[in-house]
Structure 1
Amino acid sequence: MLRIKARHIQVSTPDQANEVMLKWQQGASFEELARAYSECPTARQGGSLGAFGPGHMAPELEPVFIEGDIGSLYGPVATAHGYHLVEVIAREDNST
C-alpha cells in the first residue's frame, strides 16, 4: 500500500498563496510559514499532514501527493477549503 507523508499551507486566496510561495523560495522555513499563514489546524504542527494513503485528502491534491517530486513545493492548488501549497516529504510503497 502506498503511504505518503506531506505537509501543506492553506490560505484563502491565490494571492496569499503566491506571497507565501515567494517567501519559501527566498529561503523561509516551511514550518514557520505554515504556523504564520496557514488557516488549517495543521498549522500548529508546521503544516504536517502525517502519513496517509491515496484517497484520504482532497482529490485536487491527489496528483501532487502521488506524482510530485519529493521536497518540491507545489501550488497554489484550489480546493473547497482554499488554496494550498503542498510539499511531499516521503512516499513509500509497502505492498511488496
Structure 2
Amino acid sequence: MEMRASHILVKDKSLADKLYLELKGGANFQALARRYSTCPSKEKGGDLGWFKEGAMVKEFEEATKRLSYGSISRPVRTQFGYHIIKKTGTR
C-alpha cells in the first residue's frame, strides 16, 4: 500500500495547536504550509507525494494510516517536531 499526504512541520507545540485550530476553522492548508512549515515540502504546499509503508517515521506513518481521505490530523510529535498531516491519497 502507498499513501499520499501533505504536512505542516513546526518545532513549537503551541504554534502547531494554533495552526490546527485555524485549519479546522477553514484556513487553506497549502497557504499555511507555505508560510509556517520548516520542511522543504513547504514549496509544494506541504505535499510529500506518494510513499510506501516504512518510508516515514513511525508516528507520522501511523497517524496517516488512521486518517480518512482529505482529513487533517491533530499535531503529531516526531523527532523532527510537530506535524499536522492531511491525507491526500491511498493506493
Which TM bucket (shorter chain)? over 0.9
Partner of 1:59: 58
Say whether residues 1:4 and 2:11 are aligned partners.
Answer: no
Partner of 1:16: 15
Note the residue ranges of structure 2 that are not aligned, 5 or more in a row: none
Say whether residues 1:70 and 2:79 are aligned partners.
Answer: no
TM-score (norm. length: structure 2): 0.94
Offset at 1:16?
0.6
8 Å contact from structure 2 (residues 3, 51) kept in 1: yes
Amino acid at match of 1:45: K
SS at match of 1:71: coil
CA distance in 1, matches of 2:64, 2:22: 22
Amino acid at match of 2:64: F
Question: Which entry has the higher C-alpha Rg, 1 or 2?
Answer: 1
TM-score (norm. length: structure 1): 0.90
Say whether residues 1:37 and 2:33 are aligned partners.
Answer: no
Amino acid at match of 1:16: L
Offset at 1:67?
2.5
Partner of 2:24: 25
How big is the alpha-carbon RMSD for the aligned residues of Structure 1 and Structure 2? 0.9
Offset at 1:65?
2.1
Number of residue pairs aligned between Structure 1 and Structure 2: 91
Greater per-residue helix proportion? 2
8 Å contact from structure 1 (residues 11, 38) kept in 2: yes
8 Å contact from structure 2 (residues 63, 76) kept in 1: no
Superposed CA offset, 1:61-87 (max 9, x none): 111222311111102110110000001
